[in-house]
Structure 1
Amino acid sequence: MRAFNSIEEYGLTIKTGSFTSGRSLAPFVPAWGIDLFLSNETSDVQKAIEAGTAAAKLSGVPVDRQTIREDEVRIAFDGDAVVFSAESDEIYKTRGLQAFLAHEAENATKPMAGGPFGNFLKKLSILREIYLSDDGVSKVRIAIVTARNAPAHARVVHTLRAWGTPADEAHFVGVNAKAPLLKAFGAHIFFDDQEKHVLGASRVVSSGHVPGPHDPDEAVIPAG
């Protein structure tokens, strides 16, 4: 009752839901056909990812959150192991930075496979197109904020083009912190698979940690 009373109070058009007396919500994520699952429960998020749904564990409320525009939705994503598959990450982890850079240069025009948020990005791009104005500006604004830098940037651009999922902004930050870029973008929410980046970004933007194959203390794909 409290949930539906709150929905009514805030004027949200939500009429359905599942309530499980504290039991895991993960089995109901595919049952409802949910595109994005956000939770503070690590196990639920992991199971939702395993079921093929974009999911992330939310950080706390940003302490330095800026005033956010209400006429746009601005969403930022990391690239590898979030929007894209972890294949390139694995090359870096097992064979080193130079092998990673050589692989990405050799495959620069070959689209990457999708990661946990690949399908969600494609659906979000449809909304972006729906709300696109005549001057080419959408109320749904998408940014890619990745630790890649040149020459590994090219494969990101070619992949987005091949998918038909244009990003309004792309930031190739290398070893630089992502938080200042996310603050400048004015993101409403940011998704990353590395806890280091999530913790740093969570000071300025609501951030979601996407479970992935990485050691949280090990940086992946540094600048080279």
Structure 2
Amino acid sequence: MEKEQQIYEQQGMEEYIKYQVEHETQPFSPGPAFSFVKALEAVNTRLRELYPESEELFDVVLMTNNQEYIDQRLINTINHHQLRFCMTGGNHTYHTNLYLSADPVKVREALEEGIAAATMFTPEKITEVSETPLRVTFDGDGVLFSDEAENLFNEEGLEKFLENEKTHANKPLGHGPLKGFLEALGKLQKKFYGKGQRMDCPIRTYLVTARDEDISGIRAKNTLQSWGLEIDETYFLAGAPKGPILEKIRAHIFFDDKMSYVEEAAKMGIVACHVPYGKANRESQERD
């Protein structure tokens, strides 16, 4: 809805309404979350086959401002793309496992309410990905984990960081804003495992982190184990670029708290989301 948003911002509400009514039968084009949502629905299809009576599925809620003026066009778009959505106005105060928006202000508000949230960016050309399995990629510190270790690294350097990680190898890191979303994915994965489909599970999770595999990686692994959570594939890059690994994974969505990695991923056509969490991001926002 980028063109429509520009009309709203530059020409005002009346021109926006007029344009939407005139283009009511024209479906909206897919946005950056489109392939992610299609993959969620593919998981739901498999879940319904295995658990016909279960309501434990992905629920996708589409939230938009000025909904009353575009209801019919949204319905036509949803039907055209054969999607399943609930629709509501632009309020995210109810409980949700993940909130995505192109508006960083709304994302920060959601995070402040304790809701897992991230800002989506649209690559110039989105890499095509297969509909299944659903592939979700997380950064570690500031995303799955708190930013406590990252702050020590930024303030006191690599040597102090590694010393601290070695000393506290068996002390779990605090949880980050997207831990709950990983838990939700893991809960649904176990439904497939319970039917003997671990190897054919349509959900795969990845951890792609700048930590190394030895000292700091051990603490990350121990933290996940203490939470009772599994990651299907883990990549400890020791500060190397993330782009080549992300290109190999071809994830439907990638979360990182550093804009440099988000931008790197976007250049490769990967749908990347910024998680504006932690001290470094707060200080950046204050400077802005």
Tell me which interval the TM-score lies in, with the shorter structure as reference length. Answer: 0.7 to 0.9
How many residues align? The count is 207
* Alpha-carbon distance, 1:59 to partner: 1.4
Give the whole-Å Cα distance in 2 for the aligned partners of 1:148 and 1:62. Answer: 29
Give the whole-Å Cα distance in 2 for the aligned partners of 1:173 and 1:30. Answer: 37
Give the whole-Å Cα distance in 2 for the aligned partners of 1:134 and 1:125. Answer: 15
Give the whole-Å Cα distance in 2 for the aligned partners of 1:63 and 1:15. Answer: 28
Q: Where does 1:96-107 land on structure 2 (aligned, <5 Å)?
A: 96-107=157-168
* Alpha-carbon distance, 1:131 to partner: 3.0
| Amino acid of the structure 1 residue aligned with 2:80 | E
* Alpha-carbon distance, 1:134 to partner: 2.4
What does the per-residue CA deviation read over 1:13-68, in whole Å, with 9 as the maximum and x for residues that have no partner?
223322xxxxxx3xx2122x121111111100111111111111111135361x42
Partner of 2:209: 146
Task: Specify which of 274, 279, 284 is matched with residue 209 of structure 1.
Answer: 274
Task: Specify which of 110, 117, 134 is matched with residue 48 of structure 1.
Answer: 110
User: What TM-score results when the alignment is normalised by the length of structure 2?
Assistant: 0.67
User: What TM-score results when the alignment is normalised by the length of structure 1?
Assistant: 0.86
* Alpha-carbon distance, 1:215 to partner: 5.9
**1:190 and 2:254 equivalent?**
yes
Is the partner of 1:90 in helix, strand or coil? helix
Is the partner of 1:16 in helix, strand or coil? strand
Give the whole-Å Cα distance in 2 for the aligned partners of 1:119 and 1:77. Answer: 12
Q: Where does 1:156-167 land on structure 2 (aligned, <5 Å)?
A: 156-167=220-231
| Amino acid of the structure 1 residue aligned with 2:142 | A
* Alpha-carbon distance, 1:10 to partner: 2.1
Q: Which has the higher contact order (CA 8 A, sep 6+)?
A: 1
| Amino acid of the structure 1 residue aligned with 2:181 | F
Task: Specify which of 89, 92, 96 is matched with residue 150 of structure 2.
Answer: 89
**When you count helix as a share of all residues, which structure comes out higher?**
2
Task: Specify which of 74, 78, 81 is matched with residue 7 of structure 1.
Answer: 78
Contact 1:72 1:139 in 2 (8 A): yes
Contact 1:194 1:214 in 2 (8 A): no
Q: Give the greater-gyration-radius structure (CA).
A: 2
Q: Where does 1:6-45 land on structure 2 (aligned, <5 Å)?
A: 6-18=77-89, 25=90, 28-31=91-94, 33-45=95-107
Contact 2:139 2:207 in 1 (8 A): yes
Is the partner of 2:114 in helix, strand or coil? coil
Give the whole-Å Cα distance in 1 for the aligned partners of 2:237 and 2:259. Answer: 17
Q: Where does 1:58-97 land on structure 2 (aligned, <5 Å)?
A: 58-61=120-123, 63=125, 65=127, 67-97=128-158
Contact 2:101 2:119 in 1 (8 A): yes
Q: Percent identity, please.
A: 32
* Alpha-carbon distance, 1:180 to partner: 0.8
Contact 2:126 2:271 in 1 (8 A): no
Partner of 1:128: 189
Give the whole-Å Cα distance in 2 for the aligned partners of 1:15 and 1:144. Answer: 30
Contact 2:265 2:272 in 1 (8 A): yes
Contact 1:62 1:206 in 2 (8 A): no
